[in-house]
Amino acid sequence: MRNSTYFKIYSAFCFVYLLVIFLGYENLDLFLKPILIPLLSFGVYFYRNFPTKNILLLALLFSWIGDVILLFTDLGEIYFILGLVAFLTSHVAYCVLFNKQNKGEIKRNLVRFGIGSVVIGLYLIGMLSFLLPSLGALKIPVIVYASVISIMLLFAFNGYLIWKKPGNLYVFSGAAFFVLSDSILAVNKFYSPIEKSSFFIMLTYLVAQYLIVVGILKLNPKKAE
């Protein structure tokens, strides 16, 4: 089966999954959610070898572990913390992946990089300032997690400035959707419940993973026969 076929199956399955969640059948999460990221991983696995392939697979593996662990958060806060650790590891892997990705021949625009860095920094400070009063015992874990995902976004933005199109836009957009997904989750959990939060969290998360994966593959195209 070609790797592109797995991406099509992933997209179709995501549509069904999101529809189920939107309609309120969140009890089916346990059966449907664990299937999603493996489908995306198969698309990477059956792609040709490239230098950062194993790092991408590692990031997807820990994302999948996080997905599964977070299914059991109703059983205790420890599951949320363990899920946070799994996704933290995934984001560290993405940081390494973006840093190791081939730079290409595009010279970085230092002014744009500086502006982007400031914007990302302001997001981090603003989000933490907004959430800190309600974090309680989870202050340190959330601060660490928010810092790492912001660094991941910064690496993706750096890549956007120096990688070739359209892969650069895919990866950066994916990283931005990932931050958006985690932001919705954090606000919903620690500040105020958001209507249909599960749907919006998973929509942005699944789009994020897809865009990052496809972007990395576009930056590592198959060689001409």
* Helices vs strands, H then E, count in the chain: 8, 0
pLDDT at residue number 76: 84
Average pLDDT over residues 89-102: 93
If one counts every other C-beta atom within 10 angstroms of the C-beta of residue 162, the result is 17
Q: Averaged over 132-145, what is the pLDDT?
A: 90
pLDDT at 23: 93
The model's confidence at residue 137, banded by pLDDT at 50, 70 and 90, is confident
- Hey, is 68 helix, strand or coil? helix
**Taking a C-beta distance cutoff of 8 angstroms, is the pair 208, 174 a contact?**
yes
Per-residue pLDDT at 222 exceeds 80: no
Whether residue 104 is predicted with pLDDT greater than 80 in this model: the reply is no
Say if residue 130's pLDDT is above 80.
yes
Q: Which residue in 18, 45, 11, 22 sits closest to 33, CA to CA?
A: 18
> Looking at residue 89, what is its pLDDT?
97
Per-residue pLDDT, 105: 60
**pLDDT for 6-39, tens place per residue?**
999 999 999 999 999 999 888 888 889 999 999 9
What is this structure's pTM?
A: 0.93
Write out pLDDT tens, residues 60-92: 999 999 999 999 988 888 999 999 999 999 999
Least confident of 58-72, 106-120, 189-203: 106-120
pLDDT band at 225 (very low <50, low <70, confident <90, very high): very low
The enclosing H or E element of 214 equals: helix 197-219
Supply the pLDDT for residue 136.
Answer: 85
Torsion angle defined by CA atoms of residues 71, 72, 78 and 83, in that order, rounded to the nearest 10 degrees: -20
Closest among 87, 112, 196 to 162, alpha carbons compared:
112
Q: What is the pLDDT of residue 30?
A: 83
